[in-house]
Amino acid sequence: MARRVTTRLGPVTLTSPLIAASGTVGSVWEFAEVADLSVYGAAVAKSVSLEPWPGRPPPRVAPSGTGMLNGIGIQNPGVETWMAEVAPRLSGLETPVWGSVVGREPGEFARVAERLEPAVAAIEINLSCPNLDGHMIALDPELSGEVVEAVRAAVSTPVGAKLSPNAPDPAAVAAACARAGADWVVLTNTVWGAAIDPATRRPVLSGVVGGLSGPPLKPLALRCVVEVHRALPDLPIVGCGGVKSGLDVVEYLLAGASAVALGTVHFAEPKAGRRILDELTRWMERTGVSQVEDLVGAMETP
Ligand SMILES: Cc1cc2nc3c(=O)[nH]c(=O)nc-3n(C[C@H](O)[C@H](O)[C@H](O)COP(=O)(O)O)c2cc1C
């Protein structure tokens, strides 16, 4: 019997629980040239700001155990160039493309979202970039709520808020975002990390501290999903962090995520989405699970 892999994320129905994570699939159209986009329910473009951002100088990526550190600093061409050069290339893609917006204060996020809206199916609000100087918005429930409120007022597309595993209380941030009108939360972005080269005694990244992603992030992000789902069982969640197999997806679904984003795995294996979806459906067949939605939040509590 075929397994049902569709899933609902608030107002959005996804044909697959897999989402291609922002910053790991370029502006999506390039990724569509090397991978099968149809295995994803949605693909999220790299975050975009109001003005062009140059990002940090190199070195800005480095391996770290089984994961990776990055300190890109959201290099992007700014929303006007993005709309002129990227948006026209997205219209032919069958998989819904979501935009990701970033900024320094609520009004700036709202202006970028408003400008992006005609080109995207939904908007992810990146409150949690670890590589911007100054305060990370996702550490602060009140400020996170203000940003979501501003974006919510500016657009009518569905809106998700991307949060940080560095927040002392992710459930408090998620609650503020939900109150302000977020349709779902993404848990999580990368976690702050660093590496030093003993030979040179220099930090490996130009920004010294960057964002750790890949398998070492998974337990931290999964813990955030468990905590937020426990506190806010009706708030839809996209799990994200360290997924590299179908079983990792099952864990996030059981913890309370309705969809699961893949990021770092794409760098070593651009076609990972196909393999991971096959692993998920084979596991469902073996264990007698007929639909993905039956797994959401189905963790047995001791
Ligand atoms: C090189 C790189 C660039 C990223 N750029 C963005 C970005 O622009 N916006 C964003 O919201 N997340 C960005 N992320 C975070 C990922 O979307 C994802 O949340 C994170 O890497 C955790 O998932 P993973 O362990 O599967 O990679 C980036 C991650 C990496 C590794």
Q: Which of 24, 137, 192 to mutate to test the pocket of ligand 1 (most atoms within 8 A of CB)?
A: 24
Percent of the chain with pLDDT over 90: 95
Q: Which of 212, 213, 243 to mutate to test the pocket of ligand 1 (most atoms within 8 A of CB)?
A: 213
State the pLDDT at residue 134.
73
Considering the domain boundaries, does residue 187 fall inside one? yes
Comparing CA positions, the residue from 120, 119, 109 lying closest to residue 149 is 109
Q: What per-residue string of b and e applies to 247-276 under the rule 16 or more CB within 10 Å gives b? A: ebbbbbbbbbbbbbbbbbbbeeebebbbeb
- Is the minimum distance from the CB of 214 to ligand 1 under 6 angstroms? yes
Confidence of residue 1 (pLDDT cuts 50, 70, 90): low
What separation in Å is there between the alpha carbon of 100 and the centre of ligand 1? 11
What separation in Å is there between the alpha carbon of 78 and the centre of ligand 1? 18
Considering the domain boundaries, does residue 276 fall inside one? yes
Considering the domain boundaries, does residue 29 fall inside one? yes
Considering the domain boundaries, does residue 205 fall inside one? no
Atom of ligand 1 nearest to the CA of 47: 8
Contacts of 100 (CB under 8 A, 6+ apart): 22, 23, 44, 45, 46, 47, 48, 123, 124, 125, 126, 162
Contacts of 125 (CB under 8 A, 6+ apart): 100, 101, 109, 113, 147, 148, 151, 159, 160, 161, 162, 182
State the pLDDT at residue 56.
94
Q: What CATH number does residue 28 fall under? A: 3.20.20.70
pLDDT at 253 over 90: yes
pLDDT at 133 over 90: no
Q: Whose CA is nearest to atom 5 of ligand 1?
A: 23
The residue annotated as part of the active site, out of 129, 177, 224, 240, is 129
Query: For all residues of the chain together, what is the average pLDDT?
Result: 96
Considering the domain boundaries, does residue 50 fall inside one? yes
* 51-57 contacts, C-beta under 8 A, 24 or more apart: 51/78, 52/76, 52/77, 52/78, 52/81, 53/78, 56/131, 56/205, 56/206, 56/207, 57/206
- Is the minimum distance from the CB of 126 to ligand 1 under 6 angstroms? yes
Q: Whose CA is nearest to atom 23 of ligand 1?
A: 241
What separation in Å is there between the alpha carbon of 287 and the centre of ligand 1? 32
Comparing CA positions, the residue from 1, 48, 39 lying closest to residue 20 is 39
- Is the minimum distance from the CB of 72 to ligand 1 under 6 angstroms? yes
In 3-state terms the chain splits into helix, strand, coil percentages (rounded to 5) of 35, 20, 45
Is 224 catalytic? The answer is: no
Identify whether the C-beta of residue 218 lies closer than 8 Å to the C-beta of residue 188.
no
- Is the minimum distance from the CB of 18 to ligand 1 under 6 angstroms? no
Residue numbers of the domain that contains 87: 7-57+74-192+213-294
* pLDDT tens digit sequence for 24-59: 999 999 999 999 999 999 999 999 999 999 999 999
* pLDDT tens digit sequence for 204-250: 999 999 999 999 999 999 999 999 999 999 999 999 999 999 999 99
What separation in Å is there between the alpha carbon of 189 and the centre of ligand 1? 6
Tally of domains in the chain: 1
* pLDDT tens digit sequence for 59-91: 999 999 999 999 999 999 999 999 999 999 998
What separation in Å is there between the alpha carbon of 21 and the centre of ligand 1? 6
Q: 75 burial class (0-12, 13-18, 19+ CB within 10 angstroms)?
A: middle
- Is the minimum distance from the CB of 264 to ligand 1 under 6 angstroms? yes
Atom of ligand 1 nearest to the CA of 242: 25
The torsion angles phi and psi of 224, rounded to 5 degrees, stand at -65, -40
Considering the domain boundaries, does residue 32 fall inside one? yes
- Is the minimum distance from the CB of 130 to ligand 1 under 6 angstroms? no
